[in-house]
Amino acid sequence: MPKKVDHEARRQEISEALWRIASTRGLDGASLRDVAAEAGISLGRLQHYFRTKDEMLVFALQHINRLAAGRIRERIESLDQEPTPRAVLRACLSGMLPLDDKSRIGLLVGAAYYARAVHDPALRAEAQHGIPQLRAFFADQLRRAAERGELSPERATEDEAMLLISAVDGLATYVLLGVHEPQDALRMLDLKLAHLFGDAGEGVEGQERVKGREGAGR
Amino acid sequence: MPKKVDHEARRQEISEALWRIASTRGLDGASLRDVAAEAGISLGRLQHYFRTKDEMLVFALQHINRLAAGRIRERIESLDQEPTPRAVLRACLSGMLPLDDKSRIGLLVGAAYYARAVHDPALRAEAQHGIPQLRAFFADQLRRAAERGELSPERATEDEAMLLISAVDGLATYVLLGVHEPQDALRMLDLKLAHLFGDAGEGVEGQERVKGREGAGR
DNA sequence: GTTATAACCGTACGAGCGACTTGTAAAAGC
DNA sequence: GCTTTTACAAGTCGCTCGTACGGTTATAAC
């Protein structure tokens, strides 16, 4: 037999090439030839690792979801030990906004997948997958906050968690559309959290101030 | 000269055929031949009214935006004269949820357009267009509510309006993905409004109860 | 009645697509 | 050292796409 190759690693490299193309041209605009070229390999080689385009698409979605979950975990762990539930929530939610190029690309890819997942059952199953988990995690954080007396108990619900996710998702959507800037979205996220946690304009705590770059043109 | 044909009407008919296809297969899945067949006309005829596919896409987006604006206006006018700002907001926001087949298709088409607008400047301009207007309108309703003492004045802001739009947009997104049901989204919208207007579980007013169809499988 | 022209229809073209097949090199197993 | 198996490369197939174009019909204008 020939040299053994790490299939998983190759597939991940190809997935990342796919994202780069999908984030600028969409999933339909990413032909196998384009992806192969972007990954610096031949079409034949790509087809050696993915027998069909759908197979590649599904794998790349699973991979990006895995990475996203990892990024969220990292963000939480980068907080001080014993962070407040509110700090955890803010870290996760702001991670869902396109505040840097990496998450911006991730969101663009996610948008491309969403548009296809709405019609494609195979992709839909994957795309749905993470949300209930995320909602449950957020709801748990809300409950912890309520126990600590930082949140009104009747707001520590799954519905409230889903509203949080939805709002941030919508904010991100409109950043990508160019309706407002990333820092505007972050400001509104903080506003939302402030209302949820019942701050009454007393100067928001537990988070760094948004810095600079005010009128920076798009 | 031959008979004069109402170009605008023909173009609208074609647009509607496009929506039907785009809502089930996406914009890339809607070929000119498919659209022509759906509209019951020949490819040649479609090309007589739209010289390129892009021209058709832009027109159809403008048309659906126009219709959506009209639907919102209708919804407001169908309320009693002198409706409360809160009732106006609820009417508009629930109109943004996929509660019936018509709005569901509209949202699917919107999603398909969004995915393309993110890359395509021409479509982006059209897709962005309505949001600031809607935000301003909502902010105005919030201000009116504050004047009437139904809302804390410091929450009558453009940011709050944008948060409202974002939340409902996100809720709709996840309905289309199949994460939750339309009536769940409506319930969370009402929850959001209740918090915004400072209800404290005292039984929500000014809106009909959501009826039946509880465990209806998807 | 002639003419000009809008309103079509049908077809064809060139490009690009995903999928498939065949060919080749090389290393692991015996 | 021969065989087997993996890892590719390259070419090709049938199809669909957006676009272009030539031809036909019908009617309004004169």
pLDDT value for B201: 56
Residue B206, pLDDT above cutoff 90:
no
- Model confidence band, residue B41 (pLDDT cutoffs 50, 70, 90): very high
Contact B170 A170 (CB under 8 A): yes
pLDDT value for B176: 98
pLDDT value for B163: 98
Average pLDDT, chain B: 91
Q: What digits encode the pLDDT tens for the residues B94-107?
A: 999 999 999 999 99
CATH number at residue A68: 1.10.357.10
Contact B112 A115 (CB under 8 A): yes
Average pLDDT for residues A171-189, to the nearest whole number? 98
Burial B137-172 (b: 16+ CB within 10 A, else e): bbbebbbbbbeeeebbeebbbebbbbbbbbbbbbbb
B58 and A CB contact within 8 Å = no
Query: Containing domain of residue A58, as a range?
Result: 53-196
pLDDT value for B215: 42
By the 10 Å C-beta count (0-12 exposed, 13-18 middle, 19+ buried), A202 is classed as exposed
Nearest-angstrom CA–CA distance, B34 and B43: 9
Q: Is residue A65 part of a domain?
A: yes
Average pLDDT, chain A: 91
Q: Is residue B26 part of a domain?
A: no
Q: Is residue B109 part of a domain?
A: yes
pLDDT value for A217: 39
Contact B177 A114 (CB under 8 A): yes
pLDDT value for B5: 84
Residue A216, pLDDT above cutoff 90:
no
Nearest-angstrom CA–CA distance, A173 and A179: 9
User: Which residues 101-130 of chain A have a CB within 8 Å of chain B?
Assistant: 108, 111-112, 114-119, 124, 127-128
Judge contact between B168 and A163, C-beta under 8 A: no
Judge contact between A26 and B28, C-beta under 8 A: yes
pLDDT value for A192: 97
Selected for mutation to probe chain B from A179, A180, A183 (highest B CB count within 10 Å) is: A179
pLDDT value for B194: 97
Residue B140, pLDDT above cutoff 50:
yes
Q: Is residue A57 part of a domain?
A: yes
Closest CA to A110 of A194, A49, A173: A173
Average pLDDT for residues A70-80, to the nearest whole number? 93
Q: Is residue B218 part of a domain?
A: no
pLDDT value for A156: 97
The Cα of A215 is separated from the nearest Cα of chain B by a number of Å equal to 17
Chain C nucleotides with an atom closer than 7 Å to a protein C-beta = 4-12, 16-21, 25-29
Question: CA of B2 vs C1' of D25, distance in Å?
Answer: 10
Q: What digits encode the pLDDT tens for the residues A133-159?
A: 999 999 999 999 999 999 999 999 999
Average pLDDT for residues B125-147, to the nearest whole number? 96
Number of domains composing chain A: 1
pLDDT value for A5: 82
Residue nearest to nucleotide C8 (CA to C1'): B45
Q: Is residue A212 part of a domain?
A: no
Residue A118, pLDDT above cutoff 60:
yes
The rounded percent of chain B whose pLDDT value lies above 90 is: 87
Average pLDDT for residues A80-84, to the nearest whole number? 93
- Model confidence band, residue B208 (pLDDT cutoffs 50, 70, 90): very low
pLDDT value for A141: 98
pLDDT value for A2: 66
Q: Is residue A7 part of a domain?
A: no
List, as one string, the DSSP characters of B138-193.
HHHHHHHHHHTTSS-GGG-SHHHHHHHHHHHHHHHHHHHHTSS-HHHHHHHHHHHH
- Model confidence band, residue B195 (pLDDT cutoffs 50, 70, 90): very high
pLDDT value for A201: 57
Q: What digits encode the pLDDT tens for the residues A91-116?
A: 999 999 999 999 999 999 999 999 99
Q: Is residue B28 part of a domain?
A: no
pLDDT value for B202: 56
Element (H, E) at A57: helix A53-77
By the 10 Å C-beta count (0-12 exposed, 13-18 middle, 19+ buried), B189 is classed as buried
Which two three-digit tokens encode residue A45? 């080689």
